[in-house]
A and B are shown apart, each in its own frame.
Chain A
Amino acid sequence: MDYLHYLRKDKMPHIWCDGCGNGIILKSILRVIDKLGWNKDEIALISGIGCSSRTPGYVDFNTLHTTHGRALAFATGLKIAKPNLHVIVVSGDGDATAIGGNHFIHACRRNIDISMVIFNNNIYGMTGGQVSPTTPTDKKASTTPYGNPDAPFDISRLAQAAGAAFVARTTVQQFARMDKFIEMAFTHKGFSIVEVLTPCPTSYGRRNKEGNGVTMLEYQKQNAVTIERAAQLSPEELQSKLVTGIFVDRDQPTYLERYGNVRDKAQKAIPQVRDGENHAIQI
C-alpha cells in the first residue's frame, strides 16, 4: 500500500524520538484504513495533547487537535452532528486516563460509535517524562525521582468495567495483532478501544534503565502473554508480564441508535412541531 497517500508529506519530519513506537501505531492505523477502503473525506481523526496527540497533524483526513484530555468530548459532538463520519480518537495514557479520565469512562458507558487507539507509553513524554496513571509502582519519572508511590491503572480493564463494546490490548511489537485488533475496533459497532503498549525510550526507558527502543521492543516480545495464558499464572509470575488480547467483544445498542428512538418518541409527542414556522414549539 501507499502510506504517502494518507500522509501530509509536507509536515514531515514528525516530532517523535528515535525508538518511539508511535510511528508503528500510525502505520498500523493507516494499513487498516487502506484495507477497509475508507474515503479520506469521511474520516475525522481527533486527539488531545501529548506526543500521540500530534498524530492528526501528519495525516490527510479531517483532523482536530483539541485541548488536553478532551478529544472524546469534541469527538462525541462531532459524531452526533455528523454520524456518517468515521470518528477515530488517538490519545496517550495521561491524556486518556488522567486529565481525560472522566470523558473516557463516560464514552465507554455511552457507547457512541467512535474508535479510540490509546498509545500507552507509561509516561508523559511531551512534557519531559513526568509520572502518568499507567507508570508502574516504584518506577522512576521526573516527578517521581525516588520511585512512583502510586498504583497504576489497567486501562483495558477500566474500559471493560465502564461498558465499552470492544476492548483489546496489544504491544506495538506484535504489529500483526495490532493490525487485527485495530481493524476489529474500527469495524465494531459502538465505542471500541485498542490499547497499544509502546516504548518511550527517551523519557521512560532511559530513566528506568530499560535500554533503547530496540531493547524495549525485545522486552515486549519476551513478556507479552495472552489473557488465557495469564489466567494460568500466579500473581508473582504475572508481575512483569504484559497481558494482551481481546478483553471485550460485545454487541450492544449504540448511543445514536438509542437517540434515534428518542427522536421518534419526541416527534410523536410533539406532532405539531414544524421546523422554522411562525410559532414557538408547543409542549
Chain B
Amino acid sequence: MDNQKPNIRMMQGNSACAEGAIAAGCRFFAGYPITPSSEIAEDLATKLPAIGGSFIQMEDEIAAMGAVIGASLTGVKSLTATSGPGFSLKQENIGFAAMAEVPVVIVNVMRGGPSTGLPTHTSQADVMQARWGTHGDHEIIALCPASVREMFDMTVKAFNFSEKFRTPVILLPDEIVAHLNEKVELPDYASLEIVNRSKPTVPPEKYLPYEMVESDVPPMAFFGEGYRYHVTGLAHDETGFPTNDPEKVEEQVRRINRKIERYRDEIVEVEELLTDDMDVLVVAYGSTARSAKRAVMIARENGIKAGLLRLKTLWPFPDKEIEKIYRRANKIVVPEMNLGQIAHEVEWATRREKPVVRINRVNGEPLTPKEIFEGIKG
C-alpha cells in the first residue's frame, strides 16, 4: 500500500486491537484460546514474528498473564487477551502487576456469564470484575471502545497509560464491538503519540524501584541492564524488598492508588451528544452506546429532549463528568447488558437526586434503540 493513500479498510474489532498493539510498540503477546477474543491472538501469531516480535500460546490463562509480566520486566511492551472465564483466572497475576507496578495491557472481550455462560454472545457484565476482580486495594484503568476504530485507538491508549503509570490497563470491549466488521481509516502510525516508561537516570547503586517520587510513578529499570533489583508481590518498601513495616507498607499501597487517582482527569474520557438542552440523560458505553445514540435521535424526533453521555473510560469512573451535566436532566437512563453495574455508579455520582432508570439485559442479545427509547419515554 502506498504511504500517501489513506489506510481505509473493512476490519474486525479484534483485528483493529491487534493492529493498535503493534502500532503502540507491543512486541510480545501471550494468550490462551478463548471465544470471543481469539482473533487477537491469531492476528498477532501471524504478525508479531514478521516484525521481530514474539507470540506464544501458553498452557493456560494464568500462565499467559505471568508470561506478559515477565516479558514486560525486560522492557518489551506486552499484551494478553481473554474473555470472562479467562479473565477470572488472570486476576491473581493482574494484582501482581498492580502491586509490582509492571506495565501490561489485558483485553477482556465481554461475553455472557456467570461461569462459562454464553461464549459466543455479548455482555457487559465484567465491568465490576475489571474494577475489583483481584484482591486488595488497587486502582485500575479500564477503557471501553464502541467502534472498530476505537479498538485501535484505545489499545494504543491502553499501552500509553500502562507505560506512563506503570500499571496494568484493561481494555473492555463487548463481543459486539470485538466482532464488528466496519469501515475504518487507520491513522499514520508515525503520527501517533507513543509513551514509553521512564527509565532510571541514577546509577544502579542509587536506584530505588519504588521510590516515593513527586510524580508517584518511579522510573522502571529493565531486567538485564545493570540495575539488579528485586520484584515481588509481597508488600515491599522503596527498595523493592519485602517489609512488614506498617509505615512503609501503608505508604506504598497508598502511592499505587494515588498514582492513578491524581491523574484521573488525564485518563478519563467521555463523549457528549445533545446534552446542552436535555431533559433526559442517557449514560451508556460500548456497543450499547451505539443503540443509545439512535434512541436519543428517535426521542428527539418524538419531541423528547434526550442527550447521551458515552463513557469511554469506565475506571477510574467518570463521576465528575456526570456531575457536571446531570442536573440539566429530570431523569437518567442507564442501558447496559448486565444487571445494573454502571447504573449503581451513576446513582452514586448523582447522589440519587434524579431517578435512574435501568434498562438491563443478560441473555446475550443486544439492547435495541427502540427498547432504550421506551426507557427514555416511559
A binding-site residues for B, Cβ under 8 Å: 11, 40-42, 44, 46, 56-57, 60-67, 70, 72-82, 84-85, 102-103, 105-106, 259, 262-263, 265-267, 269-270, 273, 275-283
Contact = CB atoms under 8 A, between A and B. Distances in A.
A275 B64 CA distance: 25
A273 B190 contact: no
Contacts of B11: 280
B28 A77 contact: yes
A2 to B, nearest CB: 17
Given A57-B242, A77-B66, A84 B51 contact: no
A70 B68 contact: no
A281 B224 CA distance: 31
A71 B299 CA distance: 56
B67 interface: yes
Nearest to A86: B224
A269 B58 CA distance: 24
Contacts of A75: 70
Contacts of B56: 76-77, 80
Contact of B223 (A44, A66, A80, A105): A44
B70 A76 contact: yes
A277 B189 contact: yes
A108 B231 CA distance: 25
A283 B46 contact: yes
B78 A81 contact: yes
A280 B7 contact: yes
A77 B232 contact: no
B46 A280 contact: no
A73 B63 contact: yes
B231 A65 contact: yes
Given A76-B58, A267-B50, A279-B7, A66 B96 contact: yes
A282 B49 contact: no
A256 B242 CA distance: 33
B96 to A, nearest CB: 5
B66 A273 contact: no
B290 interface: no
Nearest to B2: A279
A179 to B, nearest CB: 24
A70 B230 CA distance: 17
B241 interface: yes
A77 B64 CA distance: 8
Nearest to A61: B228
A262 B92 contact: no
B189 A281 contact: no
B69 interface: yes
A40 B70 contact: no
A81 B74 contact: yes
By CB atoms of chain A within 10 A, which of B7, B50, B92 has the most?
B50
B130 interface: no
A263 B74 CA distance: 20
Contacts of B249: none
27 contacts: A41-B226, A44-B223, A46-B70, A60-B228, A62-B224, A64-B70, A64-B232, A73-B62, A74-B69, A76-B63, A77-B28, A77-B56, A78-B70, A81-B28, A82-B223, A103-B59, A103-B66, A266-B46, A266-B48, A266-B49, A266-B50, A275-B52, A277-B189, A278-B188, A280-B186, A281-B19, A282-B1
Interface SS majority for chain B: mixed
Given A73-B67, A270-B50, 15 more contacts: A44-B224, A60-B228, A62-B223, A65-B232, A73-B58, A73-B65, A76-B63, A77-B67, A102-B63, A106-B58, A266-B49, A277-B3, A278-B7, A279-B7, A279-B186
B292 interface: no
Contact of B189 (A60, A70, A276, A282): A276
B71 interface: yes
B224 A279 contact: no
Contacts of B132: none
A279 to B, nearest CB: 4
A281 B74 contact: no
Given A76-B58, A273-B47, A279-B3, A42 B224 contact: yes
Contacts of A283: 46-47
B232 A106 contact: no
B73 A281 contact: no
Given A73-B62, A73-B66, A74-B67, A65 B74 contact: no
Given A40-B228, A82-B74, A65 B223 contact: no
Contacts of B93: 67, 70
A106 B60 CA distance: 10
B50 A259 contact: no
Contacts of B75: 81
A106 B230 contact: no
Contact of B241 (A57, A72, A263): A57
A270 B47 CA distance: 8
Contact of A74 (B7, B22, B66, B188): B66
A62 B28 contact: no
Contacts of A66: 66, 69, 96, 233
B144 interface: no
A40 B228 CA distance: 8
